[in-house]
Every structure is written in structure tokens, then in C-alpha cells.
Structure 1
Amino acid sequence: MTPDDLQAARGHVVPDVVAGGLRVLFCGINPGLMSAATGHHFARPGNRFWPVLHLSGFTPRQLRPDEQDELLTHRLGITNVVARATARADELTAEEFREGGRILTAKVQLLRPAWLAVVGVTAYRTAFGDRRAVIGPQDRRIGGTRIWALPNPSGLNAHWTPATMAEEYGRLRAAAEARGRLARDPRSEGGGSPA
């Protein structure tokens, strides 16, 4: 991949990896140039999304970016807050984030995943107008979809190590599994709501 290839990918869109009935829809900030050039989410070397997804127990082995469609077999998907590819997230405007939040809300209403996991609390705050949000489960819901803000897996987010990120992603995995068990348990009908 040459620097010219990367620059040519500026502004491109990486297709979502989605389906109905997902346990978790992971939502990146926006595609980087490597992702736009390859058509694969979290494709930049040094991005820790794929290793952390495996370390946290979401996947039985570490997937490569070009294996992203395998996520669907685990009822996981990927989208972005903003579809436009840039070299850095700070090239995006606050209005792009807010519009991305509106588009993401409509997407979640259509797909109805159990959880929406936004990987980047600052992106979540801007897209959804929640300045006080912190990493972890959020009070906001989109229909029946719960929301979790996760640490951004970019290598630039150095104060989160792969181990501490995997711990947080693992908390989401445990919550998603518990919610799935409640939804399948006939004894849960009529008694309380899933976590």
C-alpha cells in the first residue's frame, strides 16, 4: 500500500458488516485511510480492535481485518459513527458527528442489535450530545438496544493497554451473554426486563 493509495482513499466509505439479530454492533469513529483503501474495518497496523476482540472472548481466535465477515457468525457487526474516511478523527466536524449519531440511531432502529458498542467515548459524547458519558454502559437506549461506550482501540490511545481494553470489552461480552440468556429463558417472560 503506497502513500498515494492511502490518499486516494480519502473520503471513501467502508461498507458496514451488519445483519439483523446481532448481539453487539461495534461502532468505530470513522474509517481511517487504510480501512478505506482495503475495504476492511480497523485495518491499520497497530489498531488493537482485532486482538482485543479475541482477548475479551468475543471471538475464539484473533481475526484479521480481511476476515471481518466472520463476525456475523458470532452475531457481531461493525459500523461507524461517520462514514467518511479521513487520516485522523480530528478532521471530522462536530456536525458530522451529530449527523452520524442521527444516521446511527436509524440504523440501530432498523437492525435492533442487543447492544451498540461505540468504540470511543468522545465520539459517543459528540454524536449523542451526552457530555458526561464515561466508559461503560450508558443510560440511553435506542428502542430496546442498550449502549456501551468502549475505549478507542487506536494505538494512539496509549493509556489503555490491550489487557485493560480486553477487560472492558469483556464486561460488555458478559453483559451481552447475560442478556441473551434472559431473552431465551422462558421463565423470564413477564418477569422483569433483561439487563
Structure 2
Amino acid sequence: MRANLNWVTADLAVGGDLAYDDTAMVAQVFEIIDSGITHVLDLRIEDDDTEIWETAKIAYLRVGTTDAEGHVVPPEVFDAGVRFARLAVREGGKVLAHCHMGINRGPSMGFAILLDRGHSPIEAFDMIHAARPQAFIAYAQDALSAHAARQQRKGAPPANGEKQARLLQRHIDEVLTPSTVGRIRHLMRQTHRRDLGFTA
């Protein structure tokens, strides 16, 4: 019945969704509340826990996106999540970024939040992966692109986005893709991003 989450920092957790069994789900909600989480950021498009978290008096934001093969998470999803996480920090709260299984979407949002807090892409990736080893963080490149665009809108000097993306991808490949299947998945994702016109 343990809540499906892992702490990345003292105020940021990433994970999966609540149990479908009502008894287990209620126990998980109380565990999440007792852990000090005040803000829940839901990346699922397939479910909505508004009623649960409103009842528990936990701030809840659903920025649903799919996890289909080849999907690119739009920058506005990461922008909304980062704003929500900033609000949580200002209010002295703690954030849970989650999806269904806690492998791609939730951990990728955690990665985006760490970038916004000043961590380098590789450092942020390693922090998520160390906290939740099963995380694949498939949308790290999308989060990095959204972060670079936010920095430019704020007037920050332009970073070498393509170089950062290449270094991050090399690191991801080294950490996550020792198998042939993993390498093929990454090649498919890179090809799909190029087809959509993404250069990083």
C-alpha cells in the first residue's frame, strides 16, 4: 500500500499514480499527506484525481499529456508544471510530479523543475535516476528545449542548446541504453524529433 513515489530533493518527489483499490488508495493519500506533500502535479491525460486531492485539501494541477511512442511533450506542459512548482516553493510546500507508472512523464517533469532550479541537464538527470532507478525520463530533451525557451524569454544569454542536448543524449545513452532495445528506442525518438523539425 506504500505510495508510489521517490524523493529527489527535500521538497520534490516523482512517481506513479494512486492504487485502483479504494482501501490502498486511501492509505496512499494519507501517506502522501503525512510526508508533507502540498502540491500534486499530474502528467496523465488518461485520468484525473481532482476530486481526491480537493477533498484532501492538496493543491492539484493536471497538465495531461500522452506517453505514446514517439510523442513530444509540448513546452507549455513543462511551463505550467514549472510555474506550479515555483508556487509550491513560495508557499513553503513540497511537490509530487507523477504520471501513471512514474517512468517517463512524471520524472521528466521533475527533471524540468530541477533545470528551473539551476541544475545542469546531466546533474538533473542523474538526480532523478538515482532517486528512482526505474525512471526512463524519456522526455528529458523536450524539457530541456522548453527550459531553453523560457530562459530566452527572460532575456538570459542564449545557451548552446544543441550542444547541451547532444551531451545530455550521450549521457542518457550511457546510463540507460546498454541493451540493443534501448538503443533502438532512442534512435526512433531522435528520428521522430527530427521529422517534427526539432534540432535539439
TM-score normalized by the length of structure 2: 0.35
* Structure with more helix by fraction: 2
